[in-house]
Amino acid sequence: MQKLLIKGKKRLSGIISISGSKNASLPILASTILTSKKIFLKNVPMLKDVETMLSLLKSLGSKISISKKKNEVIVLNNKKLKTFASYNLLKTMRAGVLVLGPLLAKFYKAKVSLPGGCAIGSRPVDIHLNALKKMGAIIKIKDGYIFAKAPKGLIGAKIVFPKISVGATENILIAACFAKGKTIMKNCACEPEIKDLSNFLIKCGCKIRWTGKRSIEVAGINELQSTTYKIIFDRIEAGTYAIAAALTGGKVIIKNINPNIIKTELNVLKKMGVKIKKDNNQIQIINNNNLKKIDLITSPYPGFPTDLQAQMMVLMCKSKGTSTIKENIFENRFMHVSELKRIGADIKIEGNKATIYGGVSFNGAELMATDLRASVSLVLAGLVASKTTIINRIYHLDRGYEKLESKLSKCGAHIKRLKNG
């Protein structure tokens, strides 16, 4: 199993180019099931989760051409795909359940494994299934699989999600494009990745209209047209590197982004004393190591993202005073805390609230990654730790960060991957 070795106390300085969004790529790729026309996608990040989704589409019968060097993917589906998505492909990635909606909408049936992925809470698929039932689907769960059928096809309905769910919004949005009549969706997630998905589907000819911040109307159609589409930037990757620059007292330009999309995150950094210069498609992060304490609550977009909670916790450890984080999205998302404590963090957990006592010094140690965002928080801690930090189980990192070691090394970090042994 591969590891990362980091020698800390290196100030980051340089330029980091942000990759395409994993969380936009996955639903967009799943939605290509709806069409038998050629889809040309640009700015696709070559990550483990994306590779898994592409393997899943191939297993269903999609013809896929990949250019890793250009970050491009061409999808060409046969008119008849298989409707079985196996556990072997979905066990490492929760987003695999996003093929359920399009398979059911186009072929009137689907057998899809219950999803796997990060161990950060239940993330139940009930919200997806109940919405599909309202659209006429007959669903049962047996032996770890979702068996779904809609003998007459899906029918437009009014869907009011009981809670905001990114995955459910995506699944139903895709399915509604082929449902008969109009689908009205309320209490939807409105993350930029969902807007990117809807923009892609609109470019393919779908009739989608955002009627409010969390309301969508979809008029069903019969076929998607061929298109070329560029995936949005990865705002979580951008936020992670912005935090890394602030943490190391660095001076880093982060480019290929839209600063307006991450203004919540940037405002939090500003409140902590970080200087930020904004341009059209880039920002510059400058920090003099005089970080202030802050209290944070994670919430759905446009609130502060749960996917940056672990990284922010590391920054809080180096700030002056006592900070707090209230995690409102997922339970079990403080699993990185025990590892951070091993290198010197002073953090107290009470339910979904973390109290972080700042001003600590990190001392390098051997650490274990537990999930995608937790693993990158350990990398950030290693960047400012004295001595050497070794991080195990870095396959989590490869699910969400493209060329992480290369991007950090170019900015002066001493980080390298150790092969097995």
Q: What is the pLDDT of residues 174-189, one digit of tens each?
A: 999 999 999 999 999 9
- Position 314 pLDDT exceeds 50: yes
Percentage of residues in the chain having pLDDT higher than 70 = 98
Q: Where are the domains of the chain?
A: 3-19+233-418, 22-230
Alpha-carbon distance of 249 to 323, in angstroms, equals 19
CATH tag for 3-19+233-418 (out of 2.60.40.290, 3.20.19.10, 3.65.10.10, 3.10.20.600):
3.65.10.10
- Which numeric CATH code is attached to 22-230? 3.65.10.10
Judge contact between 47 and 400, C-beta under 8 A: yes
- The reported pLDDT for the residue numbered 116 is 65
pLDDT tens sequence across 56-99: 999 999 999 999 999 999 999 877 899 999 999 888 788 889 99
* H or E segment to which residue 244 belongs: helix 235-247
* H or E segment to which residue 140 belongs: strand 138-142
Q: How confident is the model at residue 144 (pLDDT cuts 50, 70, 90)?
A: confident
pLDDT tens sequence across 97-143: 999 999 999 999 999 998 765 444 555 789 999 999 999 999 999 99
- The reported pLDDT for the residue numbered 119 is 44
The answer to whether 3-19+233-418 and 22-230 have equal CATH topology is: yes
Active site residues: 118
Give, in order, the Cα–Cα distances in Å from 122 to each of 38, 114, 304, 337: 36, 12, 21, 19
